Amino acid sequence: MEINQIFTLAAKEFRDRIRNRWVLAVALVFTVFSLVITYLGGAQQGQIGLKSIELTITSLVSLVIYLIPLIALLLGFDAIVGERERGSLDLLLSFPITRTEFLLGKYLGLAGALTLSTVAGFSLVAALLYQQFQWAGLFHYLGFMISSVLLGLAFLSLAIFMSVIARERTRASGLAIALWFFFVLVFDLLLLGALVGTGGSYGGDIFAYLLLLNPTDVFRILNVFSMDDVRTLYGLSSIVPPALAKPWLMGSVMFAWIVVPLALARWRFNS
C-alpha cells in the first residue's frame, strides 16, 4: 500500500470540496447555529448568554447530534457508488492504485473537509468562551470540539460503507437517511420503550452498555455524563455509571465506530 497514492487522492478530494464551497457552507451553518444556541440555550433556566462552559456544551450537544451525523452521511453516501454510476471508478482503478488506496484516499479527503468545516464552525464560540473564561473555559470546549469531529468521522465511515454496498446512488442515499433516523431518533426510543414496557425488570443493568451501540449516545456520554455538573443539570446521572463515563473509554469506543465500518467497507470493496 502506497501512502503517497492515498494522500494524493485525499488531497484531490479535499480540494474538490473546497472548490465547490462545501466547507464554507457547512462552516457557516455551524457558526450561525452554534452562536444562536450558545446565547439562547439556557433560556429554559432563565439565562441568556455565556453563563458557564457546562451550560454552553449542554446546549450545543443536541445541535451536534442532529446536524453532524446528517452532514457526514450526506457527504459520503455517494463517494464510491457515485463514481461507479458515473463510470469513473473503473477508469480510476485502471491506474496503478489499489482498491484499498482508493477507498482510504476518498475517506481521508472527505474527513479533512468535514473536520475543517466543523472546527471552523465552532471556532467563533471558542473565541467568545476564551474572552470570558480564559483557558480554563476552553479545556472542556476543546474536548467537545474533538468529540464532535470524531462523531462526524464515525458517521462518515458508516456512509462510506453504505456507498460500497449500495448498487445505486438513490439506494445509498436512502440507506444514509435511514441510518440517520435510526441512530438519532429511533434507537433511544426503542431502548426506552423496552425499559418502560418491562417495568424496568429487564435490561436495567445493561441499559447504559446498550447505549454504546449508538455513536450519538457515545458522544452524549462523553460530553454530558463525563462532567458532574452537566450530569446533574440533565437530571439523568443514574443512567450511566461513573465507571462508564470515562473520557478515555468513550473515546476508544468512538474510535472503534470509526475503524470498524471503514474496515468492513474495505473488505467489501476488495471482495
pLDDT for 148-164, tens place per residue?
999 999 999 999 999 99
Under DSSP, the state recorded for 145 is H
Higher pLDDT, residue 130 or 14: 14
pLDDT score of 237: 52
Q: How far apart are CA 43 and CA 51, in angstroms?
A: 11
Q: How far apart are CA 17 and CA 109, in angstroms?
A: 9
Residue of higher predicted confidence among 234 and 23: 23
Could you tell me what percent of the chain has a pLDDT over 70? Answer: 84
Mean pLDDT score across all residues of the chain: 84
pLDDT of residue 124: 86
Using 50, 70 and 90 to split pLDDT, how confident is the model at 250? confident
Q: Give the number of other CB atoms < 10 A from CB of residue 52.
A: 16
Is 70 exceeded by the pLDDT of residue 51? no
Residue 235: the pLDDT is: 47
DSSP 44: G
Q: Say whether pLDDT at 202 is over 70.
A: no
Please list, in sequence order, all residues whose beta carbon lies within 8 angstroms of the beta carbon of residue 209, skipping any fewer than 6 positions away: 244
Provide the angle, in degrees to the nearest 10, between the axes of the packed helices 53-76 and 22-40.
Answer: 150
- Check if the beta carbon of residue 182 is closer than 8 Å to that of residue 189: no
